[in-house]
Amino acid sequence: MSLISTRLNRIKPSATMAVTGRAQELKAAGVDVIGLGSGEPDFDTPENIKEAAIVAMRAGQTKYTQVPGTLELREAICAKFKRENGLNYSPTQIQVACGGKQSIYNAIMASVGEGDEVIIPAPYWVSYPDIVILAEGTPIIIQTKHENGFKINAEQLEAAITPKTKWLMLNSPSNPTGAAYAKEELKALMNVLLRHEHVFLMTDDIYEHVVYDGFEFTTPVQVEPKMYDRTLTLNGVSKAYAMTGWRIGYSAGPEELIKGMNKVQSQSTSHAASISQAAAVEALNGPQGFIEKNNSVFKERRDLVVSMLNQSEGIECLTPQGAFYVYPSCAGLIGKKTPEGKILENDFDVATYLLESQGVAVVFGEAFGLSPFFRISYATATDVLVEACERIQRACINLK
């Protein structure tokens, strides 16, 4: 009899974390590797936020907090939703978790069971389907198209809904494509959900602040207030505030669901770290100016990477409106032969070839549910990105 449960055997370890780990291993072994796999800003956490953590530690805020998070942080989150999204929540409708990932995990564990279907547009963030499977639910994947900017439309959503549908999981701006839904596009999707009262919406807004070219972010409940009682709005400080290691995510939604999520959290991590919670209060309440500054750096890098990738033979890359990823098609490389004589059969082969021949670590598209593509995170120093793109161009030229 195996020690490992059958439940665990149904899921995969996170592919993005695996690629980052492999790149770190190769680097440690002395190989010249450029890691473009990791989804975290290379900027440091702003000083005022670090300072708030130090002050909290000195003031003895080093003990257990309430399960859903300190009242101070939940109030700061309510103020954020009011200020930035025009949404009213009370602290009992808020849960703070150890990162956005745990927010999603808590929500799915609290609400999904055997037989429940969860609609997930592909390409998706790698953890969505596996978390649903862990909860014994069934992911229902809607495939998007490169030519539609990797977004689903109302007809596709309508066709995917069944009496068993529990959730639609939406992520805009998206990891891995950077695609962001405009207000009218969200409205069309919300109109479908209004017709199906048993379907709940989980909107993952973690890249809310990372948008370009004047794109106006809107969260679905802003667009359709009638979805307020059926929506869980997820967010966190990891991406906008360069705080990935602090592990703070949060969500807002119906009290009944938040209570269920608190029950799950009370039997797992209890709550997010007290010191990180104090830092998150400062992140949300403090000066926000650096977000704009970081975004202008990200935008320059995005433009550089898109342009250099489009100059690579066999690669085609859209210009995304948000997040810090591009998701180029490598359809033009499939079927080509490497200098070692290997035929590239799929995007996993392409990613392996880029790593082995040029030391560039990217994540293959299959991990995100849409092939043949790969994901590059451009949250890396500009000179490193130039070098990486030059290597990718060389790798393409070397194919026959």
Ligand X SMILES: Cc1ncc(COP(=O)(O)O)c(C=O)c1O
374 counts as binding ligand X under rule CB under 6 A: no
Q: Interface with ligand X by CB under 6 A: which range of 76-84, 93-101, 137-145, 378-386? A: 93-101
* Phi and psi angles of residue 391, each rounded to the nearest 5 degrees, phi first: -65, -40
Q: How far is the CB of 202 from ligand X (least distance, A)?
A: 10
**Identity at 262, one-letter amino acid code:** N
Interface with ligand X, residue 101, by CB under 6 A? yes
29 burial via Cβ count (<10 Å: 0-12, 13-18, 19+):
exposed
**Minimal distance, residue 171 CB to ligand X, in Å:** 5
Nearest residue (CB) to ligand X, 168 versus 399:
168
H/E stretch holding 155 reads: helix 154-160
Beta strand 117-122 pairing with 138-143: parallel
CB 351 within 8 A of CB 373: no
- Provide, rounded to whole angstroms, the least separation between the CB of residue 397 and ligand X: 32
By CB under 6 A, the residues from 26 to 45 that bind ligand X are 39
- In this complex, which beta carbon is closest to ligand X, that of residue 149 or of residue 359? 149
Map residue 102 onto helix, strand or coil.
Answer: helix
Is 380 one of the binding residues for ligand X (CB under 6 A)? no
Using the rule CB under 6 A, which residue among 144, 171, 294, 380 binds ligand X?
171
* Interface with ligand X (CB under 6 A), residue from 238, 265, 294, 358: 238
Stretch that binds ligand X, among 98-106, 135-143, 333-341, 373-381 (CB under 6 A): 98-106
Binding of ligand X by 108 (CB under 6 A): no
Asked if residue 338 binds ligand X (CB under 6 A), the reply is no
- The Cα-based distances of 213 to 267, 295, 299, 300, 303 in angstroms read 43, 10, 8, 11, 11
Kindly list the strands in the beta sheet with 374-377, ordered across the sheet, starting from the edge strand earlier in the chain: 325-326, 374-377, 363-364
| 124 or 200: CB nearest ligand X | 124
Q: Which of 123, 178, 249, 328 binds ligand X (CB under 6 A)?
A: 249
Side chain identity at 242, as an amino acid letter? A
**CA 203 – CA 190 distance, rounded (Å):** 12
Residue 374 β-bridge partners: 364
244 binds ligand X (CB under 6 A): yes
Closest CB to ligand X among 239 and 336?
239
Q: Which stretch binds ligand X (CB under 6 A): 49-57, 160-168, 191-199, 236-244?
A: 236-244
Count of CB atoms within 10 A of residue 64's CB?
8
Task: Tell me which stretch binds ligand X (CB under 6 A): 21-29, 97-105, 193-201, 380-388.
Answer: 97-105
Q: Is 100 one of the binding residues for ligand X (CB under 6 A)?
A: yes
As a whole number of angstroms, the distance between CA 327 and CA 103 comes to 25
Q: Which of 204, 208, 282, 349 binds ligand X (CB under 6 A)?
A: 204
Question: What is the β-pairing status of strands 165-171 and 200-204?
Answer: parallel
Give the whole-angstrom CA distance, residue 99 versus residue 268: 14
Q: How far is the CB of 225 from ligand X (least distance, A)?
A: 24
The helix-helix angle for 289-310 and 382-397 (nearest 10°) equals 20
State which residue, 223 or 242, has the beta carbon closest to ligand X: 242
For binding to ligand X (CB under 6 A), which residues are involved? 39, 99-101, 125, 171, 175, 204, 206, 236, 238, 244, 249
